[in-house]
């Protein structure tokens, strides 16, 4: 029905990668909603800047990992697999951040709009996404 070149056309490939990454991002945000003790979108709607920064960092982190995965892999399944592996590492980093700050609870501070903690959370997500992405091979 379609020519063989249709599926390898750059516009079709780009639309495919875009669609898959957006779907994976939605799944990632649902998982982050379960992992955190606060409701991301309700807090953002009420003006909680710390939650907005932490959530923005997670969105950037996940999409950046998938950017690296798209660059490094030639099939859609490899890209998804490595991107999801990178996402798992990003969740691990978030849980490690919580564990390494015994003087306070990261989730509670972010829920209270502690912007300093929100900024550090965002920076960790963004920074580690580069490390994770660069290590995807």
pLDDT in tens, 74-118: 888 899 999 999 999 999 998 899 899 989 999 999 999 999 999
pTM: 0.87
**What mean pLDDT do residues 58-78 have?**
92
**What mean pLDDT do residues 8-37 have?**
90
> Which residue ranges make up each domain of the chain?
8-135
* pLDDT above 70 as % of the chain: 96
At 52 the pLDDT is: 98
C-alpha distances in Å from residue 124, one per residue of 2, 12, 20, 117, 137: 45, 34, 25, 10, 22
């Amino acid at each position: 029905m379609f020519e063989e070149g249709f599926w390898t056309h750059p516009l079709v490939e780009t639309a495919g990668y875009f669609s898959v990454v957006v779907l994976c991002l939605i799944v990632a945000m649902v998982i982050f909603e379960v992992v955190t003790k606060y409701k991301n979108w309700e807090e953002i709607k009420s003006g909680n800047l710390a939650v907005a920064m932490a959530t923005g960092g997670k969105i950037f982190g996940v999409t950046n990992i998938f950017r690296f995965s798209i660059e490094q892999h030639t099939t859609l399944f490899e890209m998804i697999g490595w991107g999801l592996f990178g996402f798992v590492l990003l969740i691990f980093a978030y849980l490690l951040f919580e564990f390494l700050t015994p003087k306070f609870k990261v989730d509670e501070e972010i829920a209270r709009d502690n912007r300093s903690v929100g900024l550090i959370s965002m920076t960790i997500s963004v920074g580690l996404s580069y490390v994770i992405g660069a290590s995807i091979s």
